[in-house]
Every structure is written in C-alpha cells, then in structure tokens.
Amino acid sequence: MMAVQEQKKEKKEPLFHIVRRTDISTKTKAVIYAIAILAGFLISSLICWAFGEDATPIDFFASMFTGAFGTKRLIWLLLQDMALLLGVSVALVPAFKMKFWNLGGNGQVLMGCLASIFCMFYFGDLNNVILIPLMLVASLAAGVLWAAIPGIFKAYFDTNESLFTLMLNYIAQGLVAMFITIWVKSGSGVLSPLSAGNLPEIGGNRYILIIVVLFLLAGLMYCYLRYTKHGYELTVVGESPNTAKYIGINVKAVIIRTLILSGAIAGLVGFFLAAGINHTVSTASANNMGFTAIMTSWLAGFNPLLMFASCFFITFVNRGMQEVRMNFSFENDSISNIVVGIIYFCVIAVSFFITYQVVFRKNETKTKAKEEN
Amino acid sequence: MVTFVVSAVSLAIVFLYGCLGETLMEKAGHLNLGIPGIMCLGTAGGCLGIALYQGMLSDPSKPSWILLILFSIFFSVIFSSFGGSIYALLTVSLRCNQNITGLALTTFGSGLTQLIMDKYVDRSYFDAAGKVISRGFVNNSDAPGILKALLSYGFFVYFGIVLALAATFVLNRTRVGLHLRSIGENPATADAAGINVTLYKYLTIIVGSSIAGLGGLFYTMDYLKGSWENASTIEAFGWMAIALVIFTLWKPNVSILGSIVFGGFYIAAFVLNGSSTQKELLKLLPYVITVVVLIFTSIVKKKGSQAPAALGLSYFREER
Amino acid sequence: MDNSTVIELKHITKRFGSKVVANRDVSMDVKRGEILSVLGENGCGKTTLMNMIAGIYYPDEGQIFINGEEVQIHSPGDAFRYKIGMIHQHFKLIDVFSAAENVVLGITDEKYDLNEAKQRITAMAEKYGFHIDCDKKIHEMSVSEKQTVEIVKVLYRGADILILDEPTAVLTPQEIRKLFDVLRAMRSDGKSILIITHKLNEVMEISDRVAVLRKGEHIATVKTSETSESQLTEMMVGEKVELNIDRPLPVDPKTRLEIKGLTVTDITGIKVLDNINFEAKSGEILGIAGIAGSGQRELLEAITGLQKISEGTVTYYHPKKNKPVSFYHKSFKRVSELAAEGAFHTKDGAPVSFEGKSAKEIRDLVDEGEIIFNEDEVIDLRGKSPREIRELGIHLSFVPEDRLGMGLVGNMDIVDNMMLRSYKRGHSITLDRKSPSDLADKIIRELQVATPGSHTSVRKLSGGNVQKVLVGREIAAAPTVLMAAYPVRGLDINSSYMIYNLLTDQKKNGVAVIFVGEDLDVLLALCDRIMVVNGGKVTGTVDARTAKKDEIGLLMTKTEAEGEKA
C-alpha cells in the first residue's frame, strides 16, 4: 500500500524508478550474463596490461586458454578441479534452496579431509579394502556433524546460520592445525603425504574416479531437488515457512535432514581431497571452495545442471589465471584474486537487471496500471 | 605479565578497528563479509601513503610523526572507501546479495593489496616509519608496569579506543545514531519517518570501511613495526573481527574489552609455555566462545542483544 | 473555541488502475474541535480517502483545503506541515527502541535531546490523560501502549488534526474507554479528530458528526445527535441490489458439521471466538457475514485444526452411511473398534462381529466390500491434526490477506502448487507430477485461468487467476465440507460469477459449503442461510431468501448475541 508514496515523490524526481520484474526470458538472462562476463574479462585484461609486463589483452586471453586447455594433463586437472567445486556446490545447493545460508562449506570439506587423514594416520596398517571405506564413513560423519549442528540450532532456536557456519570454518581450521601439531613432531607444521588409504587409479588415470562420481552426484542432486518429495518439501520450506507449516510439513525435521545431506556431500569431497588428491591435510585444504561454491550455485540459480556451467567457468578462470601469472611474471596469486574478484563483481551487479527493471518516466503509467490490476 | 598485556592490547586493536567498522555497517543492516578485503585495502593504501611520503624526504629514515600519521590515514581511508563504495553500490543501489558481494570483495581486496604491496610500495625504510608510528608516550623500559601497560602504545591504539567510544556515543546518544539503528531494525519505518535510507547506508558503509581499513594498517605499521607478511594474515584477522561483532553483541564500547579478550587468547597461544597443540587449541577458543555467545543469545531471545532485525536484507521501498 | 472548518474536501476522486474507483467525487468537511466518524463497510474507500489527507495517496481529481487555503499534500511530511497526522492500523514502530526514541525518530528540525523530549511527552500525557512510559521498549508493550506511542508521535509533531484508522479494532473494552477519554480531552483542546470505523455503537458514543461512505461515494454527513443506528445502517448498506445467481433449493440437507460452544482464546487472553454454535448442512451454502476481523478467520481455522480450541466441540458427521468400510486412516485398530461398537452391517443387513476372526480374514472381508456402515460416522475434530481433518474431506480454501500467504507458494509453478496438499500420497520417495499436471491443465481449461502455461509461477498470475487456482485445487479434491473465505476478493465481475457458480455446483453435489463473504448483496443472492458474527460472537442467523439487507447490517454491528431468527 505504502508504495504509492513513491508515486508522489516522482513528481519531484521524474527521472526513473525501479520495479521488480515479473518475467524474464532465459534468452535475455543469458545475454545479460554474457555481457557481464565479457565486461569482466575485458576489465581484467586491461588491468593485467597495466600491471603486468607486456600483457596485451590478446596475450592475456591466449594465456588463459593455454592455462586451461594447453596440455592433456591440464585438461584433466581442469576437470578435476571443476568436479571438486561442483561437488561442494552440490553440497551447498539444497541448503540454499531452503534459504539456509550455509557459509560453512570450507569447514565441512575440511572436516571431511581431517577425518580421512585421521584414519590414514592411525589405522594406516589396515588393508585398503577396510581402510578406505572406514575413511569414507569417517569423512561423511565429520561433514554431517559440521553441517547438522548449525542446522539443529537453526531449527530449534532460529540461531543465525550464516554467522554460525562461518565460525565453524575457523574452528575446523583450528582443529586441523591442532592435529598437525600432534602428528608432525618436527614442528614444521606440514604433514607430508601419507601412503596408506590412497584411492586406486582406474585404468591408470587418477582423475577419472573423482570426476565421474562428483558429476554423477550433481545429476542425482538435480533429480533429488526436482523429483523427490524431500526436494519438494525443502523448496516449500525455503519459499514460505508459513505455508509449509500450514500443509503439515515438519519444518524442523526438513531443515535438519537437508543439512545432514549437505554435510555428507561436503564430507565426501573432503574424502576425495584427502584420499584421492592430496594424501595430506592443511588448513588450506578446502582451497576456499566453500566460498567459491556459494558463488557458483548462486550463479546457476541453484540449479545443479546449470552448476556444471558455472563451475566450469570459475575453474577455467582460476586455472587460466595460473598461466597468466607465470607468463607475465606476477609473483603470486594476487592477480588471480583481482581478476576473479572483478568478474564476480560484474556478474553480481547484473543480477540487479535480472530481478529489477528500470522504468523511465514515459512508460511509467503503463506499468503502474499493470501492477494494480 | 606486563609484556603479555601490552601485546594483547596491541593485537586487540587490529580486531577492534575491524569490529568497529563491521558493527556500524551491521547496525545499518549490512552484513559485510568483505571486511577482510577492506582491511587489506586499508593496509595497502596506508602503506602506499607512507611510501609516497618517505619518497619525498631527503632522509627517508627520519620521517615526521605527524605527517606519517596523516599520510597513512588519508591514503588508507581512500583505499578502504573505494572498497566500501563498490560494496555499497552493489548492495544498496543494486540490491545484490550481501553475502556474495562481501565474499567477492574479500577476494578482490586481498588480491589487489598483495599486488600493490609487491609492486608499488617501496618498503626499504618501513622499519624507520614503523618505529615512529608505534612510538608510545612512555618508552623507557624501566618505567613502572602500570604506566607501561597504559601508555606505551602508539597513536593508533588510542585512536581506535577513542573511535570505539565515539561510536558508542554516536549510536546511543545522537540523532544520527538513532536514525542509523532504525534503518538496521526496520528500514520501512525509517523511510516512512522521513529518513534518507540510501544516503545513511552509503555513508555508514564508507565510514565503517574506512575505520576497518585502519585495522590492517595498524597491524602492519604498528604491531609489526613496518614489516609485511602477506595479505592472508590480515584476511584472517578480518574474519576474527566479524566474529568479534557477534561476541560483543553489536556494542562498540564492549568491543574494546572483547577485542582485548580475543587478542589475549591469540597472544597467549604464543607466550604460554604449553605444547604447540595447546597453543592451537587456545587460538581456536575465540571462535568457540563466539559460537556459544551466538547460541546463547538466540536461545534467550533477549531483544537488544540480537543482531539488527533487518540484517542482510535489501531494502526495496515498493515492497513495503 | 470557534467552530471554523479546518479541512474541506471538494470533489475528490481516486482511481487505482483503470477499473477500480476507490473514491468518487467526495466532498466533505471537518470542523475545529470535533470528532468526526468516517463510517462505511469494508472496501468503501474510507481508508483511501483518509490516506489522501495524510499524504500517502494523491487524489486524481479534486481539491483539499486546509483552513480555507488550497493545499497539495504529496507526502506524510507535507501533511505534518499542515498539522495533520495519521495513526495507521499497522503501527510503524521500531521494536527495540524505547517509546521516546520512537517518538523523536525522523525529527531533524530541533536539537536531539531525549530528556527534553521525555518531559514534553510527559506533559502531553498529563494534559490529555493518558499513560506512557517513555523508557519502555516497544517490544515490551501491549497493543494499547503501542497505539499510545503512535498517538504521541503525531501529537509531538504538533498535529492539530488526527486521523485514526480503526483504532479500537485491537483494543479491549477498558482500553477503548480510556482511548475515548483521551480523544475527548484532545477535542476540548481544540484538536480535530477523524476516526475510521465501522462499529456503530462507538460512532454513537464518541463522535459529534458521522460521514457515511458507500462504494467510494460520500452518502451524507449527519450530526450524531440527530441520527440513529438503524438510519446509519441504512445509509451504510444502501438499497438491495438484485444479482442473478442461480440458487436451487437444498436437496436432502444433512448435518455435516456441528459446532457447539466453540471458544478460542488468543495469546493475549482475549476471546476471539466466544461460544459459537451452528450447523453446516450438506447441499446448502451457509454464508458468514460480518465486519472483517470479527472472528471469521479464527472460526475456519479452528474447524480445520489450525487454531487451538479452548472450549466447545466440533463434530463431523462423516458421510459413511451405506458405504463399504475401508481402512481409511490406515488403522486396523480403528476398524475393529468401530465393529465392536456395532457401527457396521453386512450386505444382507446382518450385524457384524469380528470376534474369532483372524486379522487376515477381517482384512479380506473389508477389502471385498462385504462390510457396510450403519450410519454416518461421528468424529470429534478436536485434537486432530490439520492433515487428518483434511483427509476426512473438510477443505478450506482460505484466501489470506496477501493471497499468497498460506494456500499457495508464489515462486512455484501451478503444477507444483497443485501438489502442495497431495504430494505425500503413496510410499514412493519420488513425486508424482503426472496427476497434478493433469489437474493443473484441467483447472486452467475449465476455469479459464489466464496463464502462459501450467509451468508459470503463481506469483506472475493476476489476482483473479491466483484465486481460481486456489479454489480449483480445493474443489478438485472432492470435499464433503468446503469452506471458502473471501474467494472473490479483488476479482472482476466475470471471475466472481465463475467462483459463485463453482460453489453452487458443489452445493448441488451435496457438499456442505461455508462461504465467508464481504458483499451483502452477494451473500443474500448466493447463500441459503446467513450467519452473522461480530466480535467473535454469533449475533444472529437469517434465512437468505427472506432477509433484508439492513437487518444483516444491524446484526453486523450489534454487540450482544441474539437468538436465531431464521
């Protein structure tokens, strides 16, 4: 009702006003995002030109592509990184769909890593046939623990989940640091790779298992959200908690159940990192994927299938930037962060044009009439 | 003991600045996860200012105290407000999701800072500048303990405390504070009362960012006396500052004490004679306590010690 | 004190969109030092009119004069410059602030000094005889205290003209009396007070004059001392308008719902429903008339298990007579219990006993349809969950204020909204989208829902189409009792008639329909009986075929319960 106050104000500031879009075609959306991404790359290439040595935009783009696709190994690495990021995004997406802002992906993945390494360290004598399943179970349990705790408190006491999960990230890092001090007597703070409990290579390819499993999982998550009663319930809870109660959904149970699923998948990614890739753990093992995945799943509109695209894109930028860095003698990953940051900004900024519409004065009466009918 | 207090308080000031800036923004309804990035930017700006100033001197190893302070603050504020403005533009005007905007800002800010520090800041005389900036009122080592505990700090320590007290005063005793708090609680009501919500939000975010940025500057120039590690250390302190906001229940005056507690835990981890495991455990404690505080306040549900009601939500007038 | 005119409205017209006219050519005046009631039914445009004086809306046509001068009021700020302040129904207060902080919020043209503000507030409180604790936080306050803060906010800004939008709706009788004392004190201080209301007794008690509005038009302004409640009612409801709605006589009505002594108390301890008694019968439409907020919502929610019932019973006569028994509720135990009570007979009419039979034998008998109910099953609905009640066939198509509140999820498409009630059916973990999708297509086709397709978000549909989706879904589930609250709110004529016909069709199918409506003409044309509620009590039940419009109007504003007139 009060919106009409706006009407009056416009007499004084007649330039334009903003209305929420009622509809937007997929095509328009795609075009808007494409423009944002292009703009992001363009600004980034110019910045590299300014800061780097002889980094003309053409060289910049060329390096990005060699960095991402230059050799067979690089392509495998790209796919592996993408799969891991996709895994974390898949972990976060059901919670987001429920409007539960899980910022704790890093912590949940890290706990998964820690649990696996814990098993590798203490039960390294066991046969891999026993050890690996044990690690898997431990990782899943650790991830679940780290996600379900804030879920339970959210369900029962409405404890702010963003802040809670954020804190749990640091507690997880602290635990990792602590265990490393126990495991590494030299005081170097670096745990050298363990040989026990490493995942087998399939056909001599150590990337393929992780890639296949996590890609499959993304497909399954799509089905879970789209075709199961659970997925339906969590969407209703996210969209309208009142309606959910009204039709007899147990909101508390749905929140906790969803967070258990979320945590288990994050734990699985942690397991892969520990058993399949790093064979060790550090406070940075999660590689900040918990935060990056927030971006990728948001970009994909919380649709697991579209997340393939967003994860591929972000991974492409990250891997491409490593090449750019080396080619144009940047000392560290600072330039990658700048470029990623700028691309993020561009993509976030255009979300405004997807949700809202700027209406200039002359169209105004028409829109008003539409709204009121 | 005195050394412990002195270092705890010194480190606390890093958190204090960050927490203060974040508190102001949260009071206006903006959960800014870009604080770590902004603290980095503030560092870069401040250091750039100092390097510029020293570059103008014929003898860079003998900088003037007052000019160092002025140059560093001025450039630090410019850089931090630049970061804050990006955040404000995106979250206030374009109503983008605050969480992801903040995260992007942190990525961007730490990257840019690292680059600037590596390539454009001449740190050859920073130890001299650091010595001057961190100079306290009482410097001789045989002064009584109590005097040393109170007066041996550099300018930025006292400035931070004054800012915290001033922020408390502004928030609780002035009209500006009243309006600011009303926006964080219920922007529609504030708007209906004739308060310019957008202007207040922009100003608060820019001022808050500027304050937070000083935290990073302080860490590099005062606490570390001019030596530079890398942006990720400052980033970590930024996250700690966000935790501190919850721990201090959104009260700037409480944040003075709260930051000393956090600083104490952190320092204790280094000075105590425990095993390294125990030290890591100590470093973890601030976060655990913050979680406990968070849970406790949500269970008790006491109004007034909760996050501002409209925290994290974009305000769109036509949807009232 | 002189009796000069402070506000004069001349030919005010306000439209929303191209079709809805909220106010048409309204001319009226307000005098210094008087209390003027603005009386009218829901949706008669009284709040819109007042909002134009308070600067929230701007009139499309006409002029406003303040103290004889023509003025343009573009914003609440402008209104305050003309010393006009409005107290809205939904308070605009900051919960964690104290009363004093809320009062001074937004004031910039004086020094910020809370202590001085408190002194001024206290002085004001003394002057007009109300009580206010300046340091108390809003969230610790009762509704009445919050209202006081809103009034102080307006007075503090120096308002001489106060507009109160239904100020008594949320107050207890004692609080109302206190409020009226305050208003009288302000009147003697020379302030002009406009009260929006639809409660006749309050109009008679407090006001000097009454302005009556009907369907956006100003009917008359009369002196309270020269009028009566019945005269006001007549002006308010107007002449009866004949509507062409098909109304067959009820066929073989049987009691489906029996409500006895139903009392519901809200959190603050106020009785929102007070000793309600009525029956709803199959094959008839029972209308519920009453001013908005008289307990209609609570009544329907109590029946459907959404409100906690403090006292009384809700009995449901499950139409089971001569129907085969099935394991509904999936309860073997329940079927055995009923058999022991002699509730069943066999196909040949012999009494049924399960004694000595194994569970499998009983199951086989029942599955083959050998066992038949003697009578309708009598079920106490109290203590059943909303879902259980729904599965018994009692459906509520509730249209809450914001329409997308509880019945539908705005961001989901029509198909997914069809599933809201039924998705749980079956043991599969996956959803069955086939039948909801068919249902969605059927509703879109039969009710002519204007939508690009069944996969369009409900939020993108217009109000009328949302309504059709909601009502269509409820009817599709073949209920035995169908309750529809305000199903035509915001709909155009054609869509409204479509809904009326849908309800009548249900009635013809033997469904007991309960229709909560606002428009008396519609109630009189559509329903068989009309029950009138006011303040949580039934004030009368009338036969819709014979009742007069003003008779209902009077019942709607009466405070004391009366016997049945039907």
Whole-complex ipTM: 0.89
Indicate yes or no: CB of A348 within 8 angstroms of CB of B231: no
Distance from CA of A236 to the nearest CA of C (A): 7
Indicate yes or no: CB of B179 within 8 angstroms of CB of C112: no
pLDDT tens across B147-201, in order? Answer: 777 777 888 999 999 999 999 999 999 999 999 999 999 998 898 888 899 999 9
Q: Could you tell me if residue A30 is inside a domain?
A: no
**Angle of CA points A101, A103, A106, to nearest 5°:** 150
d(CA C193, CA C205): 14
Q: Could you tell me if residue A299 is inside a domain?
A: yes
Position C561 scores a pLDDT of 46
Ramachandran category for residue C540: left, alpha or beta (phi over 0 → left; psi -120 to 50 → alpha): left
In 3D space, the residue among C216, B197, B184, C93 whose CA is nearest the CA of residue A9 turns out to be: B197
Indicate yes or no: CB of C105 within 8 angstroms of CB of B303: no
Indicate yes or no: CB of B193 within 8 angstroms of CB of C106: yes
Position A3 scores a pLDDT of 42
Q: Is the pLDDT of residue C344 over 90?
A: no
pLDDT tens across C106-152, in order? Answer: 888 888 888 999 999 999 998 898 889 999 999 888 888 999 999 99
Indicate yes or no: CB of A348 within 8 angstroms of CB of B312: no
**Angle of CA points A349, A342, A39, to nearest 5°:** 70
Helix axes B2-27, B252-271, angle to 10 degrees: 140
- Interface check for C115 against chain B (CB to CB < 8 A): the answer is no
Query: Which region among A291-300, C124-133, C305-314, C460-469 has the lowest average model confidence (pLDDT)?
Result: C460-469
Q: Could you tell me if residue A56 is inside a domain?
A: no
d(CA C506, CA B86): 59
Q: Which of A1, A229, A246 lies at the smallest CB-CB distance from C423?
A: A229
Q: Which residue of A has its CA nearest to B87?
A: A345
Environment class of residue B254 by beta-carbon count within 10 Å: exposed (0-12), middle (13-18) or buried (19+)? middle
Taking residues C424-435, report their average pLDDT. Answer: 80
Distance from CA of C89 to the nearest CA of A (A): 12
d(CA C448, CA C497): 13
Count chain A–chain C contacts defined by CB atoms under 8 A: 83
- Average per-residue pLDDT in chain C? 83
Q: Is the pLDDT of residue C18 over 70?
A: no
Indicate yes or no: CB of A243 within 8 angstroms of CB of C409: yes
Residue located via tokens 């900004």:
A345
Environment class of residue A133 by beta-carbon count within 10 Å: exposed (0-12), middle (13-18) or buried (19+)? exposed
In 3D space, the residue among B281, B257, B214 whose CA is nearest the CA of residue B49 turns out to be: B214
Indicate yes or no: CB of B193 within 8 angstroms of CB of C104: no
Helix axes B197-218, B65-88, angle to 10 degrees: 140
Query: What does CATH list as the number for B2-319?
Result: 1.10.3470
Per DSSP bridges, beta strands C61-66 and C69-71 are antiparallel
d(CA B23, CA B20): 5
- Interface check for C76 against chain B (CB to CB < 8 A): the answer is yes
Alpha helices in B57-154 (DSSP H): 65-88, 98-119, 126-133, 145-151
Q: Which chains neighbour B (Cβ–Cβ under 8 Å, 3 or more pairs)? A: A, C
Cβ–Cβ < 8 Å for A168, A104 = yes
Tell me the CB-side half-sphere exposure of residue C474, using CA atoms within 13 A. Answer: 28
Residue ranges and CATH numbers for the domains of chain C are 5-237 (3.40.50.300), 242-315+384-393+479-566 (3.40.50.300), 320-375 (no CATH), 409-478 (no CATH)
Distance from CA of A296 to the nearest CA of B (A): 10
- Average per-residue pLDDT in chain B? 88
d(CA C482, CA C472): 12
Q: What is the dihedral of CA A282, A288, A290, A296, to 10 degrees?
A: -150
d(CA B68, CA B81): 20
Mutate to test the interface with A, among C409, C455, C470 (most CBs of A within 10 A): C409
Position C401 scores a pLDDT of 47
Q: Which residue of A has its CA nearest to C460?
A: A22
Position A14 scores a pLDDT of 43
End-to-end CA distance of chain B: 56
Position B238 scores a pLDDT of 92
Q: At C10, is the secondary structure helix, strand, or coil?
A: strand
Q: What are phi and psi of B274, to 5 degrees?
A: -80, 180
Write out the residue range of the structural domain in which residue A240 sits: 81-311
Q: Which chains neighbour C (Cβ–Cβ under 8 Å, 3 or more pairs)? A: A, B
What is the sign of the dihedral through the CA atoms of B129, B131, B134 and B139? negative
Interface of B with C (CB under 8 A): 174-175, 178-179, 181-182, 185-186, 188-190, 192-195, 303-304, 309
Q: Which of C412, C423, C431 lies at the smallest CB-CB distance from A239?
A: C412
- Interface check for C135 against chain B (CB to CB < 8 A): the answer is no
d(CA A297, CA A307): 6
Q: In chain B, what residues touch C51 (CB-CB under 8 Å)?
A: none
Both tokens of C172, joined, read 């207890």
Q: Could you tell me if residue A5 is inside a domain?
A: no
Q: Is the pLDDT of residue B139 over 90?
A: no
pLDDT tens across A163-194, in order? Answer: 899 889 989 999 999 999 999 888 788 888 88
Strands (E), C310-413: 311-318, 344-346, 371-373, 377-380, 394-398
Q: What residue ranges do the domains of chain B occupy?
A: 2-319
Q: In chain B, what residues touch A20 (CB-CB under 8 Å)?
A: 316, 318-319
Instruction: Report CA-CA distances (Å) from B232 to A284, B179, B313, C218, C286.
Output: 11, 36, 29, 70, 71
Cβ–Cβ < 8 Å for C407, C400 = yes
Q: In chain B, what residues touch A158 (CB-CB under 8 Å)?
A: 298
pLDDT tens across A25-82, in order? Answer: 788 888 998 999 999 999 998 888 888 777 788 888 888 898 889 899 999 999 999 9
Tell me the CB-side half-sphere exposure of residue C286, using CA atoms within 13 A. Answer: 27
How many other C-beta atoms can be found within 10 angstroms of the C-beta atom of residue A4? 17
Q: In chain A, what residues touch C17 (CB-CB under 8 Å)?
A: 368-369, 372-373
- With b for 16 or more beta-carbon neighbours within 10 A and e for fewer, the C333-350 pattern comes to eebeebbeeebbbeeeee
Kindly report the pTM of this predicted structure. 0.82
Domain count, chain A: 1
Single-letter amino acid, residue C94: I
Position A313 scores a pLDDT of 93
Distance from CA of C94 to the nearest CA of B (A): 6
Q: In chain B, what residues touch A342 (CB-CB under 8 Å)?
A: 108
Query: Which region among A10-24, C34-48, C301-315, C376-390 has the lowest average model confidence (pLDDT)?
Result: A10-24
What is the sign of the dihedral through the CA atoms of C472, C473, C478 and C484? negative
Q: Could you tell me if residue A153 is inside a domain?
A: yes
Distance from CA of A148 to the nearest CA of C (A): 22
pLDDT tens across A316-346, in order? Answer: 999 998 888 888 877 777 888 899 999 999 9
Indicate yes or no: CB of C106 within 8 angstroms of CB of B194: yes
Per DSSP bridges, beta strands C35-39 and C209-214 are parallel
Indicate yes or no: CB of C405 within 8 angstroms of CB of A242: yes
Both tokens of A348, joined, read 């976030």
Hey, which residues 11-30 in chain A have their CB within 8 Å of chain C? 11-12, 22-23
Taking residues B241-270, report their average pLDDT. Answer: 88
